[in-house]
Amino acid sequence: MNSTEGRHVAIILPTYCEAENIADIIHAIENLKLNSTLLVVDDSSPDETQNIVRKLKEKSKNILLLKRPHKMGLGTAITDGFRFLLSLPKPPKYIITMDADYSHNPQDIPRLLKLAEKGCDLVIGSRYCQEGQVKGWKSTRLLISKVANKITGKIIKLQLNDFTSGFRCYSKGYITKALPQLHSETYEIQIETLRQAKLQNSKIGEIPIVFENRKKGKSKLTRTEITAFSKYILKVSWEQLFEREH
C-alpha cells in the first residue's frame, strides 16, 4: 500500500509565503487523527514554505507537495489540487479546501466531514449563517463581504449564507463531474464551484464557523482578486439574461 492509498479524506492547502504558518497548521491537522492526505499546493514561495514542507514529508508519508512555477492564483491552485488527488490510484472520497494561515480552524474539519458523510456533495464552513462569526476584520471589509454574498445569492439563486468562504468539503463525485467546467484563476473559484453544484443539482450544506483574520502575515485578498470576482458575477448575470431571452 502506498502512502496515500486507502485514505478517505484529503486536505488541500494552497500556499504562497506561509513559512510562518505551514508547519503549525499541518501538525494541527495531523493531530485530528483522520488518516488524511495533506496536499500543499505551493506557488514557488520565495520564503521557506517548500523547504519546511519537504522536511515534514520526510517524516510523514501522507504529506504531498505540488510545486507550481510561479504565483498562478487561488482558483488554479484548487483545480490543480483536485486533478492531482483524482489522479491517485485510490482517490479520496472527500476533499477539503482551507487556508494555511489559521483563519480556518482545523478543529472544524470533522464537522465538515460529518455533514458530507450524511450525503452532502459540498459543505461550506459558513461565517454568515446562525452562530457563524468573523473576528479581526474592519467593519468596512465585513460590510463589503456581506453585501457581495447577498448579491451573489440573488444572482446564483441558491439559499445559502456564505458563497465566498474557502473552507469547504467536496465529495469526489461532485468534483469528478464539475472539474471540466471549472475555469476560475483566482478568488471567484468559490462562486464557480457553487454554480456548478446548482447546475448538477448537488446537495449543498453549511456549518457555522468562526473565521479569524490572519494571525501572521498580511491579507492576500488583492484588488485583482476582487476585480476577478466582480467580472465573474457580471458574466453569470449576462449568461442568465441571455438564456431568458432565448
Sequence ranges of the domains in the chain:
9-245
Q: What is the mean pLDDT of residues 123-145?
A: 92
Using the CB atoms, write b or e for 73-112: b if 16+ within 10 Å.
bbbbbbbbbbebbeebeebbebbbbbbbbbbbbbebbebb
Tell me how far the alpha carbon of residue 117 is from its chain's centroid. 18
Quick check: 210 pLDDT over 80? yes
pLDDT bracket for residue 63 (50, 70, 90): very high
Q: Is the pLDDT of residue 94 over 90?
A: yes
Cα–Cα dist 234/166, whole Å: 21
Give 179's pLDDT tier (boundaries 50, 70, 90): very high
Q: Which three cell numbers stand for residue 4?
A: 496515500
| Distance between CA atoms of residues 42 and 53, nearest Å | 10
CATH 3.40.640.10 fits 9-245, yes or no: no
Q: What is the pLDDT of residues 181-204, one digit of tens each?
A: 999 888 889 999 999 999 999 999
Within 8 A by CB and 6+ apart from 210, the residues are 105, 127, 132, 133, 134, 135
| Span 210-225, average pLDDT | 64
Numbers of helices and strands, H then E, in the chain: 8, 9
Residue 49 has pLDDT above 90, yes or no: yes
Residue 15 predicted with pLDDT over 90? yes
| Of 73-82, 171-180, 201-210, 217-226, minimum mean pLDDT range | 217-226
The answer to whether residues 169 and 113 touch, using CB atoms and an 8 Å cutoff, is yes
Which tens digit of pLDDT belongs to each residue from 135-160?
A: 998 898 888 888 888 888 888 889 99
Compute the average pLDDT of residues 36-44: 97
% of the chain at pLDDT higher than 70: 84
Is the pLDDT score of 217 beyond 60?
A: no
Cell of 47: 520564503
